[in-house]
A = this chain, B = another copy of it.
Amino acid sequence: MYSLHELQKCVADYMDNLDVDGSPHSLYQPIIYSLAAGGKRLRPMLTVLACNVFSDNALAALPAAAALEVFHTFTLLHDDVMDNAVVRRGKPSVYGKWGTNAALLSGDAMMIYSYKLLQQTPVDYLPAVLGCFNYTALAVCEGQQVDMEFERRNDVTMEEYMSMIDKKTAALLAGATMIGAIQGGADTLSRQHLFSFATELGIAFQLQDDLLDAYGTEEKLGKPIGGDILEGKKSFLMLTALTEADSVTRKQLQALLDNGAMESQQKIASVLEIYDRLGVRAIAEREIELHFSRAMEALDSLQVARERVEPLAELAQSLLGRKS
């Protein structure tokens, strides 16, 4: 069994040493660039940590873990084209730097590369791992499609929103965790508990992301604050505000959203003022807490020695800024 810190080092090393290059270099350069941008490596960490719960050979799950990170980074390349986003993690996005065609085609190559990593999975586990990966990957596309459609709709319900983030964000964390559990040899019941854990964690994580977009810092977010407000995103905060508001405030909010001429900083400040008035921040924080504790309960339900779960619990806590 490995500690959280040991696995973090292994994942970072493995990602840093991926041999992604090929010919023509121009196809692979954006892949290398986007993978080097780093990030938390959350998905591969979930894979090796889930494997680590059941097996002393968690490093065997490293290729599949890397496949999940490469797949995740590929989705960012294509999302940035769809969202017309030229900045990512505080640097020019592939789309911003090289344009649509490069983001499109290098993104495609990147997705294939994730399957190339997956192909290193021990053959006994390969069918189950490949099946789980495909299921997860399709869910992510479905979530992205629904998210894009939300931007053109004014009647998105909270239930629809939760179902969307379940696919767009939580599914990939759940898939990453399941793929680790499969390779650790986990039984069906344990897999179910881990699935619940990762899904709830993913929802808490997405809600926290929504919260950060309004109440975080530009440094932590890697892009300017208030982007969701300016893009008219139906975030958890916005949907909560629309639910909590009386009819006058709801009209105010709607008018703000529809006002294309208003100066950006003023629009953000006006929306935040309404959020504050309605106590949206506290509601979001309670919701995050709810999903986070459900995640931890699912972990507690695992029938394994507590110490085996500890590194995974530690990651979940640090992800949401909790102390263990």
Contact partners of A108 in chain B: CB under 8 A: 78, 108, 111, 141
Query: Which B residue sits closest to A141, measured CB to CB?
Result: B109
Q: Bound state CA distance, A190 and B141, in angstroms?
A: 40
CB distance from A180 to the nearest CB of B (A): 19
On whether the beta carbons of A100 and B101 are closer than 8 Å, the reply is no
Nearest-neighbour CB distance to chain B for A33, whole angstroms, equals 15
Instruction: Report chain B residues within 8 Å CB of A144.
Output: 105
Check A37 for interface membership: any CB of B closer than 8 A. no
A interface secondary structure, majority: helix
Contact status A130-B119, CB under 8 Å: yes
Contacts of A81 in B (CB 8 A): 100-101, 104
Q: Give the interface segment out of A23-31, A208-216, A224-232, A279-287.
A: A23-31
CA distance A145 to B145 in the complex (A): 27
Q: Is A134 an interface residue (CB 8 A)?
A: yes
Neighbour of A100 across the interface among B100, B145, B149, CB < 8 A: B100
Q: Check A148 against B112 for contact (C-beta < 8 Å).
A: no
Task: Give Cα A149 to B149, complex, Å.
Answer: 34
Interface residue A138 (Cβ < 8 Å from any Cβ of B): yes
A149 to B27, CA, bound (A): 10
Q: What is the bound-complex CA distance between A116 and B100, given in angstroms?
A: 27
Instruction: Answer whether residue A82 sits at the interface, using C-beta atoms and an 8 A cutoff.
Output: yes
What 0/1 pattern do residues 125 to 142 of A give for CB contact below 8 A with B?
Answer: 011001101100110011
Chain A contact patch, size range: 35 or more
Q: Knowing A27-B142, A108-B78, A137-B112 are in contact, say whether A101-B148 is a contact too (CB < 8 A).
A: yes
Inter-chain contact B104/A141, CB cutoff 8 Å: no
Interface members, chain A 72-115 (any B CB < 8 Å): 78, 81-82, 100-101, 104-105, 108-109, 111-113, 115
CB-CB < 8 A to A133: which residues of B?
115
A146 proximal to B (CB < 8 A): yes
Question: Is there an interface contact between A26 and B149, defined as CB atoms closer than 8 Å?
Answer: yes
Cα separation A108 to B27 with both chains bound (whole Å):
17
- Indicate if the CB atoms of A27 and B145 lie closer than 8 Å: yes
A260 within 8 A of partner (CB) = no
Q: Which listed residue, B27, B112, B134, B142, touches A23 by the CB 8 Å rule? A: B142
Q: Does A145 contact B115, Cβ atoms closer than 8 Å? A: no
Distance of A118 Cα from B127 Cα, bound (Å): 10
B-chain residues with CB within 8 Å of residue A100 when the two chains form the complex: 81-82, 100
Known: A105-B144, A105-B145, A112-B141. 11 other contacts (CB 8 A): A24-B145, A26-B149, A82-B100, A104-B104, A111-B111, A112-B138, A115-B115, A115-B130, A116-B138, A119-B131, A126-B130
